[in-house]
Structure 1
């Protein structure tokens, strides 16, 4: 009876939603005509079979105005969430449960910085990137004023306010924050250092180790000479209703390694899975401009994409651009800090945070010369010390020029112009990948890199009163790591450590160990006849070469006779090649065993919450081999037992626990412990955390092949039931050959539309999970011939 009532309730809910949709909500408009104020001439939009808009305009302003309107009809609620996170206004829209998230972002300073960046943009006067941005904003606002709003607004009882340049900068600010790993990592490493000592840190790969792989650099004389041929913080961040950026792969292969003898470009950005997925694809054409771009909600320019001359892409640089300073208060004045013998005032400002259904909250923010004091919003830091701790973050130190940089990259016609645009990016750190029709390939590490004081440790909270910990200036951008037309015939990045700068400095960061980069580099180097089809197998590869090495080492630490009933499972693990296809059983045992080994070693020191926080950092992925193989690792000894445990003790206990749990979870036959039974991908919607809205908005994708450091990278979150939720992975897969540009391919994890009642909401889900691609069309005749949906945007009378 309870099941029947539950089903009846759900059916009733769907019926009510269906009636509301019929009355109030419609799918995005893909056919017919729309009047769009501000247009100078009619603009045609052809939608292909996957809902990608191909916009044909007569001038730049009309093209971006049309893009704004179309982007809003497909992704308005996503834009709403992105701008509200960055502007610190979630509680105004979603209620008091999001107040602490708003307080965090206000304290960090992103809303203040967005306002300053907007003022700087306006002070530049009339520029092409400002004019295009404002045309796009006017297109968005026309849809907000007169379009059919997404059903989410109806369910929340809200209406969107007009979109602004400040909102646009807020979105870029939030994106920049998701790149900043320090706030998740540095408090934990400082706690380990202070509570347990350096030997505990030395057992972790806090910095790049000799066995890790670095990105080679190659400096030409200049581009002009180139031929133009769960912790508290974790819990807080999990409330954010938009995904966080995680990493990425990209490689560009020169013509001497390809079948077409032209450049091949590949990119897959790794971002938290969500519904809708992060990137919105759109193709713009007007006289003198042809560009296929991948856009963040609310941003008119493509952070990834290609024109007829070149393609650009990105991965996260992972450079460390945020430090924390524990301040020393002046004993004669508690509103001052000391640096050496000199006193500096603590500035105070108050910001009003509106909260849905209750009175606004006045929030006080205190700032030192190093930056905002963050103890009130980061419990991990408040627990470490009663002294103020300031956040020094490169992103906030100068206005963002992201729009100018990306606009120029989209519109450039030479590698020199792209290099000049890349130099405008000060933060967040990005690896900008480049290939062009003339045969050039390039990679730039784009960021403003600080020179730290000689006593500063980039990942340990510094003594803010010591003059020798203070920032000393900036390395010249010309010294940043880069590689342009290297002899190897390719450039690649996979969030691993770039080799030394031109000045010989190995810049610190939160880099991954380079296992993905190594697989990419070895594979590309193995042949010289690559094409788009053959490279797809590399982009989809699920092999992790290091895991079998760790598995064999762990197996050598146990007496197999103690686990005789599981002998066959252990034998298979011993001969495992590291592949993570969904029918494999070896990953199921290995992941469980590895995770238990880490937990048994660390949870007694860090506590349950501390260990959960550790799992959210880059350190475990970076440290796996180093940690497991280190015999004198002090983490092996449990703090709460009189005996001194050894590595062998911990690994053996972890295996016993793993085998018992898997037997209970999946049955006594290890041959049936398939990876697909424990790995599940769901694309969550911001409203999907509430039942039964999860059934309406979330996109269920099911099992998917991949792992943390395979080229097909997936980030897995262990769940209480012994399964792993796939929380992040490729947010797009792009592949193009300049020998056949109009037959490029791409795929999104869900679909190009964020409107739940569009047929393009999840129409790429199956393609993505099965490792298939779809066309990335730029051929005008083919687009117009095949399109069954044509929308004409006309100037308003």
Structure 2
């Protein structure tokens, strides 16, 4: 027995020793010297307390080569997931469960578009942005060749192939797809219009309503340039995506007339699906003539958000409608042709091959009309609506992407005009470009190519593809796009809400949010003239929704109090709710479940369970709630299949009864115990975390946060009947910068800067994030070197 125990003890010791050795081998080192192929001169990388690399190089080529190497070392598996989603090669890497996603992306045309964009990028010649991208790619591949790969590759039994410029455009394509709200929304709106009729749509906010908040525009003549008019079941799939979806954002830029320093103050918090690692990788680059602190997507060498010492650039989603679906009319004499007016056009086809891990490859056909790919085979929502082909006309696939050039130009810009010129290169996805500089300029541009539609086209209902008058009619010039340059208000802000009319008086349709965040931002900024990075934090961290307390008052007016005498104190508490979402409050716990059941009892009988669930996941639900509940002639209240005609009061009271019963069962009969924190779950999922027990290893669990819908600090969740709300998206960083002292700018990430599970920087910012704290974005060379927690010197190979 003693010998057995001794043997077991030695075995456990050796296992622990082996595990520690493996962890040490896998952990990225933040100290030492590394030789890097292609480097012309030594480059130093100083790592601060949070593992953010500060790269000092002697040339642009060396700087981007170093960035590519260190970005791959910290985020290679994230890069792998992003490029495989965009290139339609997930099944090759993860197995047959992902075949349908690959088919969807190939049909939509993102891999094809990536090839075309990469070719156009190369054909431009040796531009500065191509040279920088090539250097970055070389750095990524240098790390891949080292073969010290992240543990995820070991678990999957895979190795990465070399990184390419086509992969880079695949990642940009995936980013653009995540903005494409039409794929979720338009089939649902078309279903409502066809099966229920216009009266049902009137109770919703299919388009922006007059009571919503609009972003003001201000067009400066100084930036005008000649720009002529030219012609020219998804939710289930998305749940399988191993990469975060970009969903919204806030940004505001305040002029010196409203700040304590007298200089521009810049704020940005992009709203993206939470994941481990979080989407942004921070890096600071310095080489002669260039200094920039950026937030980078995996695989992209230029910072989509970032700042130099003289300018800062941020972004939010424009949410413009850039995708239409054309229901085609087949030629009766030839099913491989469509009819438009008196003309006949062929349906073309191309073969796509999907490699599948552990199985034979799959060949399938993608058919296309003059409008775009036919989506019926890969969209259950579309195929359920019609047997006729439905083609996707999407702005993104209409021309090669110039996003890399645009972002490079923004990083290197020296003036307001250069930013405007760069923004004009972005054709899709629609982005609100936010800008501020040391000279005192502030600006916002809605960057996208905006299509001209016929008045006959409803942008969220399938278009009659056979009508000649309903065809795309060209583009509005970029100078007509909504924008605001140095407005007299002293600030610009965007929060995914509807921009005011363009210069030509046109309200461009989109999937905009109601503007409650924008309104809070606007009212708060204009209330003071001494803003700085200290006192503006409370706005960025605010969890107040001013609309929902008004809505709950309306609901309470419909309550038959005699039926709820045992709950008088709980209902009285609701009357005092100010719209905050503090964790010890009970009002949010009651409100969201009550809202869910009110909508469910109203809509599920008409839509069915699947379509109702889809409705809850669209922008339309968020911006329709108030209108839906207060709309006097709302036909949704009456239940299908009952003899009685149900009223609004009937539905609201039934929903309240169910809500109180369920919460009593869930949290106890004393409503004082229904604290919001008990209903909120906050976890950052890793692509492998869906497989137990890997969730315990890779997922990052955080303390509950003040989950909310449409507060400035938007921490979103899907409304559901369970009454447990998993926070799915929110600020992917929180940046505050005052040009009174750029080197004192601050930010925070939801998890950490490293994607390596064994790095100490994998989740070292999660507590800062949940507690509403920040850390410095260091740019001062002396401070960086004095405070550095590690230094790697990259040396040229002899």
Name the TM tier (shorter chain): over 0.9
What secondary structure sits across from 1:222 in the alignment? Answer: helix
1:719 and 1:477 map into 2 onto residues whose CA distance is 41
* CA-to-aligned-CA distance 1:321-362 (integer Å, 9 cap, x gap): 000000000011111000001000001000111000001100
> Counterpart in 2 of 1:228?
none
**Pairing 1:259–2:245 present:** no
Alignment gaps of 5+ in structure 1: 1-11, 226-231
Partner of 1:297: 298
Q: CA deviation at 1:19?
A: 2.6
The 5-angstrom pairing of residues 116-127 of structure 1 reads 116-127=116-127
Structure 1 residue 642: Cα displacement: 1.5
| Deviations 1:139-164, CA, capped at 9 Å, x for gaps | 00000011521000000000000000
Q: 1:195 maps to what in 2?
A: 195
The answer to whether the Cα contact below 8 Å between 2:268 and 2:735 also exists between their aligned partners in 1 is yes
Does the alignment pair 1:567 with 2:568?
A: yes
Question: Could you list the per-position Cα deviations for residues 454-484 of structure 1 after superposition, in whole angstroms to 9, with x for gaps in the alignment?
Answer: 2111000011001121111111111000000
In the alignment, structure 1 residue 655 sits paired with structure 2 residue 656: yes
Deviation at 1:120, TM superposition (A): 0.3
1:24 Cα offset (Å): 8.7
d(CA) in 2 for partners of 1:17, 1:416? 60
- C-alpha RMSD of matched pairs (Å): 1.5
Structure-1 residue corresponding to 2:408: 407
The equivalent of 1:313 in structure 2 is 314
Q: Does residue 213 of structure 1 match 2:216?
A: no
Counterpart in 1 of 2:459?
Answer: 458
The answer on whether the counterparts of 2:253 and 2:266 sit within 8 Å (CA) in structure 1 is yes
Please list, as runs of the form range in 1=range in 2, the aligned pairs for 1:558-707 lying within 5 A after superposition.
Answer: 558-707=559-708
SS at match of 2:102: helix
| Alpha-carbon shift at residue 631 of structure 1 (Å) | 2.4
**Mapped contact 2:616–2:719 kept (Cα < 8 A):** no
In 1: Cα distance, 2:464 partner to 2:29 partner? 58
Q: Are the equivalent residues in 1 in contact too, given 2:593–2:720 (CA < 8 A)?
A: no
Q: Distance in 1 between matches of 2:491 and 2:418?
A: 21
Q: How far apart in 2 are the matches of 1:706 and 1:497?
A: 24
Corresponding residue pairs, total: 780
Q: Does 1:394 align with 2:395?
A: yes
User: Match of 1:767?
Assistant: 768
Q: Is the 8 Å Cα contact of residues 73 and 147 (structure 1) preserved in structure 2? A: no
CA deviation profile, 1:116-154 (whole Å, cap 9, x unmatched)? 001101110000000000000000000001152100000
Secondary structure of 2:266's match? strand
Question: Which whole-Å CA distance do the structure 1 matches of 2:497 and 2:718 have between them?
Answer: 22
> For 2:23 and 2:255, how far apart are their aligned partners in 1?
55
Whether the 8 Å contact between 1:21 and 1:151 is mirrored in structure 2 is no
Cα pair 1:719 1:725 within 8 Å, conserved: no
Question: Over residues 686-721 of structure 1, what are the superposed CA-to-partner deviations in whole Å (9 max), with x where a residue is unaligned?
Answer: 000000000000000131014111000021124664
Structure 2: distance between partners of 1:280 and 1:130 = 21
Structure 1, residues 518-562: CA drift from partner, whole Å, max 9, x if none? Answer: 000000000000000100100000000000000000000011221
User: Residue 142 of structure 1 aligns with which residue?
Assistant: 142
Q: TM-score, normalised by structure 1?
A: 0.97
Q: 1:224–1:416: 8 Å Cα contact kept in structure 2? A: no
Measure, in 2, the Cα distance between the counterparts of 1:34 and 1:223: 47
Matched residue, 1:440: 441
Q: Distance in 2 between matches of 1:215 and 1:362?
A: 47
Aligned in 2, Cα 1:18/1:533: closer, same or farther, shift over 3 Å? farther
Deviations 1:603-644 (A, max 9, x none): 001111111111111011010100010121010011121211
Distance in 1, Cα, partners of 2:501 & 2:184: 26
Matches within 5 A, 1:6-85: 19=19, 22=22, 25-85=25-85
Distance 1:719 1:339 in 2: 43
TM-score scaled by structure 2? 0.96
Instruction: Check whether the contact 2:447–2:481 (CA below 8 A) recurs between aligned residues.
Output: yes
1:325 touches 1:464 (CA, 8 Å); kept in 2?
yes
Match of 2:332 in 1: 331
Q: Deviations over 1:420-473 (max 9, x none)?
A: 101000000000000000000000000000001221110000110011211111
Cα-to-partner distance string for 1:462-514 (whole Å, 9 max, x where unaligned)? 11001121111111111000000000000000000000010100000000000
Instruction: Say whether the 8 Å CA contact 2:216–2:484 is kept in structure 1.
Output: yes
Structure-2 residue corresponding to 1:348: 349
Between 559-568 and 269-278, report the one with greater CA deviation.
559-568
Distance 1:15 1:352 in 2: 44
Partner of residue 163, structure 1: 163
Tell whether the 8 Å contact from 2:23 to 2:758 is kept in structure 1 after alignment: no
The equivalent of 2:479 in structure 1 is 478
Q: Distance in 1 between matches of 2:646 and 2:224?
A: 61
1:628 aligns to what SS in structure 2?
A: helix
Instruction: Sort the Cα spacing of 1:173 and 1:449 in 2 relative to 1 into closer, same or farther, 3 A.
Output: same
Unaligned runs of 5+ in 2: 1-11, 226-232
Secondary structure of the structure 2 residue equivalent to 1:359: coil
Which residue number in structure 2 is paired with residue 3 of structure 1?
none
User: Contact 1:680–1:703 at 8 Å: present in 2 too?
Assistant: yes
Distance in structure 2 (CA, Å) of the matches to 1:23 and 1:454: 62
CA-CA distance at 1:29 after TM superposition: 2.2
Distance 1:536 1:104 in 2: 41
Displacement of 1:25? 4.3
The verdict on how the C-alpha distance between 1:17 and 1:316 changes in structure 2, with shifts beyond 3 A counting, is farther
> What residue is the counterpart of 1:791 in the other structure?
792
Contact kept in structure 1, 2:597 and 2:721, CA below 8 Å = no
Give the distance between the partners of 2:703 and 2:71, measured in 1 at CA. Answer: 28
Counterpart CA distance in 1 for 2:593 and 2:15 is 42
The residue matched to 1:756 in structure 2 has which SS? coil
- CA distance 1:15–1:205, shift in 2 (3 Å): farther
| Cα drift, residue 268 of structure 1 | 0.2
Query: Which deviates the most, 581-590 or 105-114?
Result: 581-590
3-state SS of the aligned residue for 1:564?
helix
Identify the residue that residue 369 of structure 1 maps to in structure 2. Answer: 370
